[in-house]
Amino acid sequence: MAARLVRAGVTLRNQVNAKWPSRDKRSDGWIGDAAHAARKSDHNPDADGWVHALDIDKDGIDADRLANELVAYARNLEPGSRRLKYVVFKGRVASGTYPDKFWVWRNDPSLGHWEHIHASFTAAAELDGRPWPLPCLSLVPKLPPVVKWDDLKNGSPTQNRLVQQALRLPIDGKFSTTKGPLLRYRLRTLSPTMRAALTRLGKASGLFRVP
Ligand SMILES: [Zn+2]
């Protein structure tokens, strides 16, 4: 089986690239070199070809924030966070291994990793490529939500269905304003493709615009 990065890792890398398009990738990595292969490493493909680790160069991105938000995401047990096994950056490691240090940075300068963030993934990450809902990866400027349920209620059934699919929201046709927070969350985590599709739909229909 050809080696490939777990889907959650591919998504994370894509999100980082989308957020910081001109970032430095020289310290990026995923599949292990000969030195890695000689020892146990999540960079080595498993029996099915899955590589469970990703290195993200610290340059040209907000690396401290990204590392901290990955850890906070796991600590808060947010949906999908069990895909993350541990994170190493700047002589520190955080993981869910020890109940008394659950996703809290532990100092160990011998761990190194001064040039890149190392993220290790669990088996849950192999097929789960959902976006990582980290605030620092959001492509949406911090503005009030522009799409409002009240704006959508005059949409045709077809338009409403498209919006429903794009946002992966259970819309009942009434567009209750109580779904506002969920709508804001979905907008933040939209893939670039979905965002483009939704933007086009909003323009064509004149019903809403996507920030
Ligand atoms: Zn690594």
* Residue 143 banded pLDDT, cuts 50, 70, 90: very low
| Both structure tokens of 158 | 């077809």
Q: What is the pLDDT of residues 80-120, one digit of tens each?
A: 999 999 999 999 999 999 999 999 999 999 999 999 999 99
Could you tell me the distance, in angstroms and rounded to a whole number, from the CA of residue 123 to the centre of ligand 1? 17
- Please give the pLDDT value at position 160: 65
Instruction: Sketch the domain layout of the chain as residue ranges.
Output: 4-137, 157-205
Could you tell me the distance, in angstroms and rounded to a whole number, from the CA of residue 139 to the centre of ligand 1? 26
Q: Give the Cα separation of 109 and 203 in Å (integer).
A: 52
Could you tell me the distance, in angstroms and rounded to a whole number, from the CA of residue 138 to the centre of ligand 1? 24
Could you tell me the distance, in angstroms and rounded to a whole number, from the CA of residue 202 to the centre of ligand 1? 41
Position 83, amino acid: R
Could you tell me the distance, in angstroms and rounded to a whole number, from the CA of residue 27 to the centre of ligand 1? 10
Is residue 103 within 8 Å of residue 75, measured between CB atoms? yes
Q: What is the mean pLDDT of the chain?
A: 83
Tell the burial category of 107 from Cβ atoms under 10 Å away from its Cβ (0-12, 13-18, 19+): exposed
The beta strands (E) that lie in the chain are given as 4-5, 50-51, 53-57, 84-88, 92-95, 106-107, 116-121
Could you tell me the distance, in angstroms and rounded to a whole number, from the CA of residue 67 to the centre of ligand 1? 13
- End-to-end CA gap in the chain: 42
Q: What is the pLDDT of residues 41-70, one digit of tens each?
A: 999 999 999 999 999 999 999 999 999 999
Q: What angle do CA 126, 184, 177 make, to 5 degrees?
A: 130
Could you tell me the distance, in angstroms and rounded to a whole number, from the CA of residue 53 to the centre of ligand 1? 6
